[in-house]
Structure 1
Amino acid sequence: MTISTKQLRKQVAPFEKANTKASIIQLINTLGPYFLLWILAYLSLSVSYVLTLAISVVAAGFLVRVFIIFHDCCHYSFFKNRTANKVLGTLTGVLTLFPYSQWQHDHSIHHATSSNLDKRGTGDIWVLTVDEYLAASTWKKIAYRIYRNPFVMFGLGPIYVFLIMNRFNKKGAKRKERLNTYLTNFLILLVGGLVCLVIGVKAFLLVQGPIFLISGTLGIWLFYVQHTFEDSYFEHNEEWNFVLAAVEGSSFYKLPKLLQWLTGNIGYHHVHHLSPRVPNYKLEEVHNHTEPLQQVPTITLWTSLKSLKFRLWDEQNKKFVGFNYINQYKRTSQP
């Protein structure tokens, strides 16, 4: 696909401004239902825990939507005012267990290096090429296979990343980033402690536990499938192109309308990577009004399940493959 960077930027530019009214409406229709569902889930404990779990599934969907607001704040795209984005980002970070400044830093690197084979490692999912895997030590291969196992990535992954990794500053973090992490941790303990005092630790865990696990799994799945699809885009630094990385290395995840709404249009990930300053509620509009963006790789809820088998990037054939491809690759690569 021939893509003119200048032309694309010109078409997308008008959408790169937040609409304060739309942002406030989204805050209301996201936080309001989330808190209401949380209370209903707690009240349902006296009726049936099956009912509690059913409500928790819906609440988890709204927590994903809260994360999208947090995500927009990290790009300074939810409000026009930077301070407003920082304040709201920090508060929504408490609900989603993400320290605002730390994640903003790592996610900015992800956007600047996405699909660049020479700049992997920050804010992204661990991806090895076939050649890298074959050259790796036995222990590295074992670690990689464990990491890429769906149970580990989507089950244990949220627990490790959200509950443990996000609680610590990274080496070399700047002062404001460290302070923001401390503040987030304090507020999480304060809010969680107050809720436990009111309803009890057991009730809190019975409600928040499934909401956390379900939303965490959904969040990691969305991030995974947005960049892990068969004909994705990866290049070494000298051939890497920002626009191609955005529109060919990020998928258009075409979801049913309800799921699209709950996930804050993040399925239009190609648009988001092309222009992170576009608010989530404008992503679909950009896609529909920009013809070149309608030609990008498209995956559906059903076809996205194929991505579970993708483990390695095949540089020769420019596609994701599974571990079972290794023997075939060895045979075809032999002189």
Structure 2
Amino acid sequence: MTNTDYRQIAKQVRAYAQARTGRAWLEVIFTVVPFVTIFAAAAALWGHYPIISILLTVPAAFFMVRIFLVQHDLGHGSFFRHKGLNKWVGKALGATTGIPYSYWKRTHAMHHATTGNLDKRGAGDVTTWTVEEYRNAGFWSRLGYRFYRHPLVIIVLGPAFLLLKMRVPFGHPTPFKENWRSILSNNVVLAAIVILLGTFLGFGFVAAVYCLTLYLAMMIGIWLFYVQHQFEDAYWAPQETWNYHQAAIEGSSQLAMPGFMNWLTANIGLHHIHHLDSKVPFYRLKEVVRSIPDLEAVNKISWLRTPRLLTLTLYDEACQRMVSFREARRNSSTENA
């Protein structure tokens, strides 16, 4: 595609950047009510059937992911037509997900503005080195990067790191004064929830059900976020040649999942369309695919292939593709032969 093609497609997509208030409220109801029902069932069963309560954290976590994805669209200002409604519903849902609304909104906007830009990495994305950067790094830096990019670290330890990181207003790409109110107010609400649950149901319930639900939801969220931009042919370019529309279409995957999984994950698998125009609410993304055939087959990846994507750790500028550490080493040996 040419730059003109990208702009033309973006113009077509813009026609769907219109929120529908009635549909939006239905999405909230069909997301929050099942979560509350499952969580209430886990609470009711905790005294006599704790194992069942713990098992219920799995469906609860998926609905918490969906709650976050509603919050995500609210942060983009795309979910409701009214700006204030997006803001206050977003803050309320942030109390459930443990993700500070205003903080997330700012950092995520930076991610959208810099996706695929080799000169502006590090804002709300997975740290990604080029092959050359890895080769030129010192031993301890390479070791640290290999540890960070290990699949178990990203998926299993990543949730704990992010949950803790979002508890303090320091060390973020946005200024402290923009973070502290959002983060600290979210902390106060979370502390109140923990105290209330612990008082009435016991802190064992808090640890085994509430915290586990948060953790599992974060694991699912990290997996989704990772595979949306870390795939073989993902677009990366230096600032001088970087193109926003090209980065949106070619730097974001289209995750092919069963229908019920698409619903649970709020169509976030159509990530290339979301990045092309974040003002299109998730409940209209499928309309875009049906009306613009050029977007239907772009970067389509089966969810069954996603474990393979976790091994892609470096961007090879020469080949213009993501490669694993093993591939990078093999290519280096070939070049030196």
Deviations 1:260-311 (A, max 9, x none): 1010100000000000001111111112211221231100111222102111
- d(CA) in 2 for partners of 1:33, 1:148: 35
- Give the secondary-structure state (helix, strand or coil) at the position aligned to 2:12: helix
Q: CA deviation at 1:55?
A: 1.5
CA contact (8 A) 1:76 1:85 kept: yes
Residues 194-203 or 124-133, more deviating? 194-203
Q: How far apart, CA to CA, are the structure 1 residues paired with 2:72 and 2:144?
A: 29
Partner of 1:79: 80
Give distance in 1, aligned partners of 2:265 and 2:63: 8
CA apart distance, 1:81:
1.4
Q: 1:184 aligns with which of 183, 186, 205?
A: 186
> Which of 313, 322, 325 is residue 324 of structure 2 equivalent to?
322
Give the equivalent residue in structure 2 for 1:54: 55
Whole-Å separation in 1 of the counterparts to 2:48 and 2:16 = 47
Distance 2:332 2:324 in 1: 14
Which residue in the other structure is 2:267 paired with?
265
Aligned residue identity for 1:83: G
Measure the CA separation in 2 of the matches of 1:202 and 1:54: 15
Cα distance between partner residues in 2 of 1:299 and 1:173: 36
Q: Does 1:202 align with 2:197?
A: no
Q: Does 1:40 align with 2:28?
A: no
Task: Find the counterpart in structure 2 of residue 165 from structure 1.
Answer: 165
CA distance in 2, matches of 1:312, 1:287: 31
- SS of residue matched to 1:146: helix
Question: What does 1:51-130 correspond to in 2, within 5 Å?
Answer: 51-130=52-131
TM-score by length of 2: 0.95
> Which residue of structure 2 aligns with residue 307 of structure 1?
309
Is contact 2:248–2:273 with CA below 8 Å preserved after alignment?
Answer: yes
The one-letter code of the counterpart of 2:262 is Q
> 2: CA distance between counterparts of 1:192 and 1:12?
42
Is 1:13 the counterpart of 2:23? The answer is no
**Contact 1:76/1:82, CA 8 A, preserved across alignment:** yes
Query: TM-score, normalised to structure 1's length?
Result: 0.95
Instruction: Give the direction of change, closer, same or farther, for the CA distance of 1:176–1:330 in structure 2 (3 Å limit).
Output: closer
Tell me whether 38-47 or 144-153 shows the greater mean CA deviation: 38-47
**CA deviation after TM superposition for structure 1 residue 332, in Å:** 3.3
Aligned mates of 2:37, 2:326 — CA distance in 1: 47
Compute the displacement of 1:232 (Å): 1.1
- Size of the alignment, in residue pairs? 334
1:230 aligns to what? 232
Question: Distance in 2 between the 1:216 and 1:200 partners?
Answer: 23
Backbone CA RMSD of aligned residues: 1.6
User: Measured at CA, do residues 285 and 239 of structure 1 come closer, stay the same or move farther in structure 2, by a change above 3 Å?
Assistant: same
**2:205 corresponds to which letter in structure 1?**
A
Structure 2 Cα separation of the partners of residues 158 and 90 of structure 1:
21
Q: 1:230 & 1:17 partners in 2: Cα distance? A: 33
8 Å Cα contact 2:6/2:246 also seen in 1: no
Asked if the contact 1:312–1:323 (Cα under 8 Å) also holds between the matched residues in 2, the reply is yes
Shift of 1:149: 1.0
SS in 1 for 2:166: helix
Question: Percent same amino acid among aligned pairs?
Answer: 35
Greater than 4 Å deviation, 4+ residue runs: none
SS at match of 2:322: strand
Deviations 1:111-147 (A, max 9, x none): 0000000100110001011110111111111111111
SS at match of 1:253: strand
SS at match of 1:118: coil
The answer as to whether partners of 1:102 and 1:169 remain within 8 angstroms in 2 is no
Structure 2: gaps (5+ residues): none
Task: Please report how far the alpha carbon of residue 176 of structure 1 lies from its aligned counterpart in structure 2 after TM superposition.
Answer: 4.9
Between the aligned partners of 2:229 and 2:82, the Cα distance in structure 1 is 30
Q: Which letter maps to 2:120? A: K
Give the C-alpha shift of residue 47 in structure 1: 4.2
For 1:166, the aligned partner's letter is M
| Aligned residue in 2 for 1:148 | 149
Q: Give, in angstroms, the shift of residue 174 of structure 1.
A: 5.7
